[in-house]
Amino acid sequence: MGDLVLAAVRTGPGKTELREFPMPKISADDALLKVEVAGICGTDVKQYAAPAVTGPVIMGHENVGVIAKVGRQFAERQGVREGDRIFVEHYVPCNRCGWCHLGQYRHCEATDWRTNPEARRYGYTSAENQHHLWGGFAQYLYLPWNAVIHRVPAGVSAELAGIVTPLSNGIEWALFDAGVGYSSTVLIQGPGQQGLSQTVACRQAGASLVIVTGTTRDAARLELAKTLGADHVIDVMKQDALERIMEITGGKGVDVVLDCTAGAGVMPILLGIDALKRRAGTLLIQGEMAAFPDFPVKKVTEKAITIKSARGHSYQACELALAQLASKRFPLDLLTTHTFGLKDVDRAIRSVGGEGDDGVIHVSLMPWKEDAQ
């Protein structure tokens, strides 16, 4: 291990440069991860274009790697040793507040950059802070005592483990939040890594009908949705989506709508409201819109719709996602389409945003990629 660690640093909106940082000193109660894969998602695309956290930031919040160095207390507390492959959640919670005691640490203020400028969260913390290595677009990642880690089961590669985040979100949102289970009927809007992960989660949970929508550009992704268990796919540019959904459901509509369009505007939400069953359906939303003019409140309340917010994942969802990957029941490796090295972080993020390479579903940033070849 050298004295310096190479990292790709976001220095401003849409700007990245390679920088070296001092190797953090590891004491009794912390550890160091050799990063194998940092997954890139739609949030990275948004945070790269318009960063919420200013200053130099090492992005990368979906991290998998091998423990390179571990203090005695950390090893005891977390039950790990050097050489173990782990998935690191991006939350770095306080372990003291009410949310943490409830196990809902994704709501802990110590890790919420939206309300706390001092928050620690991988991919969202300035590299000017102590230990510097707070993101996965680097050769190493610093692990404090309160890092939340999961052991990656044997037989799951680092690249496959990179899908834990979208898959655990799928399990959290579709199953725990929206209550998808045996015989549920589900509409999933958007066939990206998130929508495809939800497709698998819903099938695994026993949904009797899964419909996935996308645009003409998503043709290959819609095909993959079918491979992963979607019963029907709809190209919303070629077909009247609502008419088709009502035809498929015999005019009943669906139990649950999951919006995985990552901020495609009001249309998916309006379609979702109409596509839900006559009474008491559930709509899961994840929006970047600050406002929603002419929101159909009357229709929502008359249909007794429950609206849920997509807000991260729990420990249990991550464990279930890892077990799902280990089971190999679904060919989730079909999602891992692209890998990039550290010097190509800019291109990797742009590719996820639809500006770079074609056919992108899930992108793995592999900081050691050049060295390996």
Question: Applying CB under 5 A, which residues contact Zn ion?
Answer: 41, 43, 93-94, 97, 100, 108
Supply the minimum distance, in Å, between the C-beta of residue 318 and Zn ion.
13
Q: Between 271 and 284, name the residue whose CB sits nearer to Zn ion.
A: 284
Supply the minimum distance, in Å, between the C-beta of residue 90 and Zn ion.
8
Q: Between 97 and 220, name the residue whose CB sits nearer to Zn ion.
A: 97
Q: Between 104 and 306, name the residue whose CB sits nearer to Zn ion.
A: 104
DSSP bridge pairs for 306: 282
Supply the minimum distance, in Å, between the C-beta of residue 95 and Zn ion.
6
Supply the minimum distance, in Å, between the C-beta of residue 291 and Zn ion.
24
Supply the minimum distance, in Å, between the C-beta of residue 101 and Zn ion.
8
Supply the minimum distance, in Å, between the C-beta of residue 204 and Zn ion.
21
Distance between CA atoms of 198 and 95, rounded to whole angstroms? 29
Q: Between 184 and 337, name the residue whose CB sits nearer to Zn ion.
A: 337
Q: Between 271 and 360, name the residue whose CB sits nearer to Zn ion.
A: 360
Q: Between 95 and 327, name the residue whose CB sits nearer to Zn ion.
A: 95
Distance between CA atoms of 112 and 119, rounded to whole angstroms? 6
Distance between CA atoms of 273 and 299, rounded to whole angstroms? 8
Supply the minimum distance, in Å, between the C-beta of residue 2 and Zn ion.
29
Q: Kindly report the three-state secondary structure assignment for every residue of the chain.
A: CCCEEEEEEEEECCEEEEEEEECCCCCCCCEEEEEEEEEECHHHHHHHHCCCCCCCECCCCEEEEEEEEECHHHHHHHCCCCCCEEEECCECCCCCCHHHHCCCHHHCHHHCCCCCCCCCECCCCECCCCCCCCCCCECEEEECCCCCEEECCCCCCHHHHCCHHHHHHHHHHHHHHCCCCCCCEEEEECCCHHHHHHHHHHHHHCCCEEEEEECHHHHHHHHHHHHCCCCEEEECCCCCHHHHHHHHCCCCCECEEEECCCCCCCHHHHHHHHHECCCCCEEEECCCCCCCCCCCHHHHHHCCCEEEECCCCCHHHHHHHHHHHHHCCCCHHHHEEEEECHHHHHHHHHHHCCCCCCCCCEEEECCCHHHHC
Q: Between 123 and 229, name the residue whose CB sits nearer to Zn ion.
A: 123
Supply the minimum distance, in Å, between the C-beta of residue 99 and Zn ion.
5
Q: Look up residue 55 and give its amino acid.
A: G
Supply the minimum distance, in Å, between the C-beta of residue 43 and Zn ion.
5
Q: Between 234 and 310, name the residue whose CB sits nearer to Zn ion.
A: 310
Q: Between 108 and 283, name the residue whose CB sits nearer to Zn ion.
A: 108
Cβ atoms within 10 Å of 17's Cβ, excluding its own = 13
DSSP bridge pairs for 10: 16, 57
